[in-house]
């Protein structure tokens, strides 16, 4: 599989993992500050566990991509995760996407495209 495909799959899985973890975190109702109880709530929350699994799978695919390309090429591509998370947050959580944020995300995309041409 081409390295760019591995990178894109890794970024998508990572972003989806972040969204799933946010879904799980948003559903938590306990205000308990005891760390052990917090972890218990995290590890018994299905969306958080799905998010962690997606994040872990993303890491293994990322490693497979790094076997094939230079880190200085691959790592800037991870910035596409910021763009994808912003779009998914807008679509899933109705988070605002201001003009300033959109411009910033567009700058990230342009930067990734420029780096991908190198």
The answer to whether 54 and 13 are in contact (CB under 8 A) is yes
User: Which residues, other chains included, contact 3 with Cβ-Cβ below 8 Å and sequence gap of 6+?
Assistant: 65, 68, 69, 74
How far, in Å, CA of 43 to CA of 64, rounded?
27
Residue 31 has what DSSP assignment? -
Instruction: Decide if pLDDT at 108 tops 90.
Output: yes
pLDDT score, position 1: 81
Please compute the mean of the pLDDT values over residues 26-30 and round it to a whole number. 82
pLDDT score, position 41: 85
73 membership: H or E segment, kind and range: helix 71-77
Please compute the mean of the pLDDT values over residues 80-90 and round it to a whole number. 96
Tell me the percentage of the chain whose pLDDT exceeds 90: 77
Instruction: Decide if pLDDT at 31 tops 80.
Output: no
Q: Residue length, the chain?
A: 118
How far, in Å, CA of 48 to CA of 46, rounded?
5
Smallest CA-to-CA distance from 10 within 49, 93, 68 is with 68
């Amino acid at each position: 599989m081409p390295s760019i495909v591995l990178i894109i799959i890794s970024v998508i899985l990572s972003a989806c993992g972040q969204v799933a973890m946010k879904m799980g975190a948003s559903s938590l109702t306990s205000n308990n500050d005891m760390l052990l109880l917090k972890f218990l709530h995290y590890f018994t929350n299905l969306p958080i566990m799905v998010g962690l699994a997606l994040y872990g799978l993303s890491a293994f695919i990322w490693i497979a991509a790094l076997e094939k390309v230079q880190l200085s090429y691959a790592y800037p591509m991870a910035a596409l995760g910021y763009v994808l998370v912003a779009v998914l947050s807008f679509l899933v959580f109705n988070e605002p996407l201001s003009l300033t944020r959109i411009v910033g995300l567009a700058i990230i995309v342009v930067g990734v495209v420029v780096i991908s041409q190198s």
